Amino acid sequence: MLVPLDSAQSYDSSNTHSFRSDDECPLHITVLDFLYNYTVPDLEITWPCEARFYWLSLQPFVKFVRFLLSYGTPFIIIIGVILNTVSFAILNTPVSCDSSLSLYLKVLAISDNGALIFNYAVGIAKSHFTFVNDLFMNSQFLCDTNSIIMELFQFTSTWLVVSLTWARVIAIIFPFGAHNSNPERFAIISITTLTCVSFVISLTKLYSGGYETDSVFEFIPCQKKIKPWGSAMYFYIALSTWLPLIFIFIGNVLLIIHMKKLDALRRQLTRSFCQKINKTNKTSRTLLAVSMVYLILLLPLGIVETLELYWDVILIKYPEKNIKENKELEEKMLLKWCRGLFFHIYHWNFACNFFLYCLTGEKFRRVLTKKLKNCKIILTSRKSAKRLPWCKCDDRLKSIRTPSILLIKVVTFDESSINDNITTQHNSNDVASIT
């Protein structure tokens, strides 16, 4: 039975004191179903009665978020992996693989698939299957390796968007720079450097589990939560959310400004230059769509994680004395599930790039349409062959019939040549007899 928030708050005055003094509460500690160890000492004090009533009032929202994470996230993972693979295949064709942007987008597709598999699919497997989580609990090597890999793909995907945004901005602002002489080489150096830096940052997961120790997937963490997180978590939040958001926002503003300048310049130039500038703008639109969607999906998650970080670092004590501290605990519970909701929304970033390429990339659509037509032709030919098996027999008859016809022609030709020889001999004999 769900207790509304008003009834939960009604216990804050007179009933609160009686619950604490007499150690009695109408709600047992097991109502907090997110706890996995009810034998921890002083658990009744750590989670007072007010927090338990608030948890019941929060149940509709919690159930909604759990439903999204349990059923929506697997759908995103499956769709995302398939679409990213298709995007990589199309971007890898000779027609599409003619710019440094395609190289960035191919690496982004690989990184997004890695994040979907190691970060989200593994988290769901840990949550729903006990034996999977036991593998990580019983093997420290497996636990540490998974933590590093999931952080590597997460950071790489995030900063790849930043990198390709600024690579495009620099290419437009400084069109005659040294990087434009060999953009593919510049892109390879940027991607390699970014991957190495992301790997070094991911090694910090060996010392601090981060939000994995309080995951919204609600599995038992294999890493212990280090307290206090302190400046390390400030650094983590800054690198994973706010710095990318700031860089992407500034890069998009500069990109939009210079795209407008190019549009104005396009109207004043000849047609040949116009086509070149128009091609540049089309490429920039694809990049702008990718980075803007990433900006929109990441911003709510960054805000909630920052607020939750304030609770974990500044208010790093469990409330057990007064009403104000109980309110802080309730805020922490609400923030966690807000993080779960925005975390689910952020998942779509790893699966929506394919649709952005289709909407903004004319060349991408053309290659995709051609591939789909080829697949349709192949499937149609196979279905027709299965439905009409006599066609195969007809082909065999043709192969048998052809040499027979040739043989008949050869025999006919030989007979006619023999008849001609006989006729000529008779004529020669007649002529000889006349003479």
Could you report the average pLDDT of every consecutive run of 10 residues in the chain (435 residues)?
Answer: 35 40 71 82 81 90 93 93 92 78 90 93 91 90 90 92 88 69 83 93 79 80 62 77 91 85 71 50 73 88 82 52 66 88 90 85 84 82 62 48 45 48 49 40
Q: What is the rounded distance in angstroms from the CA atom of residue 225 to the CA atom of residue 214?
A: 8
Contacting residues for 147 by C-beta, under 8 A, at least 6 apart? 202, 205, 206, 209, 212, 223
- DSSP string for 350-414: GTSHHHHHHHH-HHHHHHHHHHHHHHHHHHHHHHHHHH-THHHHHHHHHHHHHHHHHHHHHHHHH
Q: What is the rounded distance in angstroms from the CA atom of residue 144 to the CA atom of residue 202?
A: 10
Q: What is the rounded distance in angstroms from the CA atom of residue 353 to the CA atom of residue 294?
A: 10
Q: Are 171 and 99 in contact (CB under 8 A)?
A: no
Q: How many CB atoms lie within 10 A of CB 344?
A: 19
Q: What is the rounded distance in angstroms from the CA atom of residue 117 to the CA atom of residue 80?
A: 10
Q: How many CB atoms lie within 10 A of CB 130?
A: 11
**Residue 325: predicted pLDDT:** 62
With 0-12 CB in 10 A as exposed, 13-18 as middle and 19+ as buried, what is 292? middle
Q: Are 169 and 251 in contact (CB under 8 A)?
A: yes
With 0-12 CB in 10 A as exposed, 13-18 as middle and 19+ as buried, what is 369? exposed
Q: Tokens for 344?
A: 């689910």
What percent of the residues of the chain are helix, what percent strand, and what percent coil, each to the nearest 5? 80, 0, 20
**Residue 171: predicted pLDDT:** 81
Kind plus residue range of the DSSP H or E element containing 188: helix 183-202
**Residue 63: predicted pLDDT:** 93
Q: What is the rounded distance in angstroms from the CA atom of residue 333 to the CA atom of residue 61?
A: 11
**Residue 385: predicted pLDDT:** 63
DSSP class of 25: -
Kind plus residue range of the DSSP H or E element containing 209: none
With 0-12 CB in 10 A as exposed, 13-18 as middle and 19+ as buried, what is 313? middle
What is the value of pTM for the model shown?
Answer: 0.74
Q: What is the largest CA-CA distance in the chain?
A: 153
**Residue 159: predicted pLDDT:** 92
Nearest to 322 by CA among 28, 23, 50: 50
Kind plus residue range of the DSSP H or E element containing 336: helix 323-347
Nearest to 299 by CA among 242, 355, 338: 242
**Residue 235: predicted pLDDT:** 79
Kind plus residue range of the DSSP H or E element containing 50: helix 49-57
Q: Are 344 and 351 in contact (CB under 8 A)?
A: no
